[in-house]
């Protein structure tokens, strides 16, 4: 009988052990979930509550008119302080939005060393701004300290694109490619505005405080050139890309400019330079690899006439044909706030003039299989060696377009074409591609200027 009771006790124990083990495992898992943060740890001092508060604030659109409204440098102390406060009003919420977007990525992705570096860079930048946005900048001494923080912010985020490329390449099996493209498109477009706001104030500060007499009569207002000639940028980029081709292939195609080479408008030279460089890389490479290096690449510049407007901000936005899906990602409240805020200087007496640049090559065109994918941030053809070369600054400048696979698929296989489109669309422009496979490609770049500054 004792043996029977012992056997029954042992049998009950055997039946209950799996249940106990399951309960124990569930308790441990719940404990781990409660302990594990929703995002990787960081050394930045900014709190999660503050990040959430800032990211909940509506963002307002940024226009080229915003960037010139403080006037031509050298600025008065009042105008320089106003520029600092305008910058400070925009950046914290923008940085917090990007931190939140990074936190919404799968944990294994944002834990990747490269992606995590970008995440921590944003936290660091926001924490350095925290002492300033708690109160308004009122003295030139505070403006000087704030400008030093802006310089650190620009340096910190200067390498974002290659670092993200490396990180997402390493994580490509943990995240859907469409999700990568969506995230990068939003992130890089947001980065354009954040960097531009910071660099504009830096440029205004330098032009005002560092030998201001040298900047009197200059056509620049910060990073914007109010008398920018696209033909000058095209010739400069032609020389740069031509040298790369000569180094890699031993030849360089020629280029001719048609249309209106003397056209001028107000825009950002570094944006136009990036776009033209990427488009010429594609055209030069296709021309050489198709054996047509003796056939010149044709660039045509066409400037649309200025169209008078009522000068209001809402009409200006309509004139720029802003797309909230592509150029901006703002709430209606942010748009209303922007339109209700009066201009701080004289209005623009004309709508933003439109300049269209067509780049035509006879490089064989883009295959029908490749054409639908030219706007994607693709990582399947962007191998680890190329990512490392970009990250280390050793790329020859053409490899990132497409070194692997079919040599004719030169457009859109790196960051060049989609990022160029992001730059163009940010202020209401765009890029369109027409390819005749077996013959060549026409690329149409449309840019909106800021109009005439009064």
Domains of the chain, with CATH numbers?
44-220 (1.20.140.20), 224-307+329-448 (3.30.565.10)
173-229 pLDDT, tens per residue?
899 888 888 898 899 999 999 999 999 999 999 999 987 777 676 889 999 999 999
d(CA 284, CA 286) in angstroms, rounded, equals 6
Q: Answer yes or no: is pLDDT of 44 > 90.
A: no
Mean pLDDT of 84-100: 95
**DSSP structure class, residue 138:** -
- With tokens 């399951």, the residue in question is 22
407 or 453, greater pLDDT: 453
Mean pLDDT of 255-275: 95
331-386 pLDDT, tens per residue?
444 444 444 443 333 333 344 578 999 999 999 999 999 888 888 875 443 445 55
* Model pTM score: 0.76
Picking from 20-34, 111-125, 218-232, 281-295, which range would have the lowest pLDDT averaged per residue?
Answer: 20-34
d(CA 163, CA 319) in angstroms, rounded, equals 36
Q: How far is CA 301 from CA 219, 233, 268, in A?
A: 21, 12, 17
Confidence at 165, pLDDT banded by 50, 70, 90: confident
Q: What is the reported pLDDT for 322? A: 36
Strand partners, 220: 225
For CA atoms 184, 186, 187, 188, give the dihedral sign. Answer: positive
Confidence at 1, pLDDT banded by 50, 70, 90: very low
Q: What is the reported pLDDT for 353? A: 77
Mean pLDDT of 106-125: 95
């Amino acid at each position: 009988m004792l043996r029977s009771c012992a056997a029954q006790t042992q049998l009950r124990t055997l039946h209950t052990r799996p249940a106990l083990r399951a309960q124990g495992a569930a308790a441990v898992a719940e404990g781990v979930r409660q302990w594990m943060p929703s995002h990787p740890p960081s050394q930045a001092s900014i709190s999660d509550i503050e990040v959430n508060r800032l990211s909940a604030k509506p963002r307002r659109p940024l226009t080229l008119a915003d960037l010139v409204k403080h006037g031509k440098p050298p600025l008065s102390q009042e105008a320089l302080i106003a520029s600092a406060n305008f910058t400070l009003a925009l950046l914290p919420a923008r940085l917090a939005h990007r931190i939140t977007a990074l936190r919404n990525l799968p944990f294994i992705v944002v834990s990747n060393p490269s992606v995590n570096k970008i995440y921590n860079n944003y936290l660091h930048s926001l924490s350095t701004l925290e002492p300033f946005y708690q109160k308004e900048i009122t003295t030139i001494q505070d403006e000087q300290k704030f400008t030093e923080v802006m310089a650190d912010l620009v340096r910190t985020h200067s390498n974002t694109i290659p670092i993200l490329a490396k990180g997402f390449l390493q994580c490509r099996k943990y995240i859907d490619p469409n999700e990568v493209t969506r995230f990068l498109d939003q992130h890089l477009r947001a980065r354009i505005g954040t960097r531009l706001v910071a660099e504009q104030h830096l440029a205004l500060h330098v032009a005002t405080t560092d030998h201001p007499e040298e900047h009197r009569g200059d056509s620049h207002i910060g990073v914007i050139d109010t008398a920018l000639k696209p033909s000058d940028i095209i010739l400069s980029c032609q020389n740069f890309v031509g040298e790369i081709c000569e180094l890699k292939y031993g030849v360089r195609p020629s280029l001719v400019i048609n249309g209106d080479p003397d056209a001028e408008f107000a825009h950002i030279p570094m944006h136009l330079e990036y776009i033209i460089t990427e488009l010429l890389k594609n055209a030069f490479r296709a021309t050489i690899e198709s054996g047509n290096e003796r056939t010149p690449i044709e660039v045509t510049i066409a400037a649309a006439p200025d169209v008078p407007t009522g000068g209001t901000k809402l009409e200006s936005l309509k004139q720029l044909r802003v797309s909230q899906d592509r150029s901006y990602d703002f709430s209606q409240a942010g748009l209303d706030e922007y339109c209700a805020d009066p201009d701080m200087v004289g209005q623009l007496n004309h709508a933003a003039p439109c300049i269209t640049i067509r780049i035509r090559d006879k490089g064989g065109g883009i295959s029908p299989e490749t054409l639908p994918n030219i706007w994607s941030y693709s990582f399947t053809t962007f191998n680890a060696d190329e990512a490392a070369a970009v990250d280390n600054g050793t790329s020859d400048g053409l490899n990132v377009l497409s070194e692997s696979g079919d040599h004719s698929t030169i457009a859109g296989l790196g960051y060049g074409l989609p990022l160029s489109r992001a730059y163009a669309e940010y202020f209401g422009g765009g890029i369109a591609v027409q390819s005749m496979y077996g013959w060549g490609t026409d690329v149409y770049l449309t840019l909106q200027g800021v109009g005439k500054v009064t």
